[in-house]
Amino acid sequence: MVQTTDLKITGHAGKPDKTGAATKGAVRGRGRPSGRDGRPADEILIAVASELFARQGYDSVSTRQIAKQARVNLSAIGYHFGGKEALYLACIEAAIAAKRKYREKLVEAVARVLAETGGERTDLSAAIRGIFENFVSAEFLRDLVDPQLHLLMSAVRDSTVAFDRVMSGHIGLLIDAWVPLVAAATGQPEEAEETQLRAITILNLVMSASLSQPLVRRRLARTETDVTISRLTAENITRAVLGMLDLPQIKSAGDGALPSGDFIETL
């Protein structure tokens, strides 16, 4: 066996050559050891822990389980993060950072709708439909359910130590994006409780497109999500939102084209 530090990536260390040096895949030194794919150990830990926390919840995941699945020694978690809570918070920060472009695109889309429609109800209805045809379809066309979204939502659902950070760094910003649109559609003040609740409901509907994908596939006996299902999902959510905002149920003026791969990849 190759002698490595207590931060080695176990199970992936290369065999020594004739000089005794480890081949590619082994870890040298204590700095930022890398695994078989060349990533530093702290990045591997964040990736693995994020999926575990998202799937099982913070309380149900142990550091031993994380280390085993990441193929690192248990001491690596303490070395890089100090403990489970700090690793969890690092996962949250990584997820918030990964969702930055999604937040920016949503804020830009809503601002553009308000600027171009001037609050006119028919135009507002058409513009809202355009937003949902993009954002809902994009969420639903992902190859897999987004573990980062699951992670952020579980922090809110379970009121974990990351609750305030998720609200200030992601969820709250998305609600803030929808509030002016709701206010324009209903004529109510942005600070009104009903306006806030409607904005939260819209956010829940959009995020459900991604979170419900396994349910849809199982129920409809599909191995993947096709274009028809994506369009129908976007249509159903759009109708629900327009109804909630008492806006005209107009049909799409477009050709039904789905968002491009580039658009999806940035969400």
Task: Tell me the CATH architecture of domain 99-265.
Answer: Orthogonal Bundle (1.10)
Per-residue pLDDT, averaged over 214-234, amounts to: 77
What distances in angstroms separate CA 2 from CA 20, 104, 204, 250, one per listed residue?
A: 8, 47, 51, 67
Q: What is the pLDDT of residue 56?
A: 93
* pTM more than 0.85: no
| Cα gap 161→54, rounded to integer Å | 14
What is the number of other CB atoms lying within 10 angstroms of the CB of residue 68?
Answer: 15
Range of lowest pLDDT (25-39, 43-57, 158-172, 225-239)? 25-39
pLDDT in tens, 54-107: 999 999 999 999 999 999 999 999 999 999 999 999 999 999 999 998 889 888
pLDDT in tens, 18-69: 333 333 333 333 445 555 556 889 999 999 999 999 999 999 999 999 999 9
| Cα gap 267→207, rounded to integer Å | 12
Indicate if the pLDDT at residue 5 is higher than 80: no
| Cα gap 152→2, rounded to integer Å | 39
In the chain, list all ranges with CATH 1.10.357.10.
Answer: 99-265
DSSP code, position 191: T
| Cα gap 102→98, rounded to integer Å | 8
Indicate if the pLDDT at residue 120 is higher than 90: no
In the chain, list all ranges with CATH 1.10.10.60.
Answer: 1-94
As a whole number, the mean pLDDT across the chain is: 79
DSSP code, position 24: B
| Cα gap 10→208, rounded to integer Å | 38
What distances in angstroms separate CA 154 from CA 26, 55, 161, 204, one per listed residue?
A: 35, 9, 11, 13
Per-residue pLDDT, averaged over 3-27, amounts to: 36
**Domain boundaries 1-94, corresponding CATH code:** 1.10.10.60
φ, ψ at 126 (rounded to 5°)? -65, -40
Question: pLDDT-derived band of residue 167, with 50, 70 and 90 as boundaries?
Answer: very high
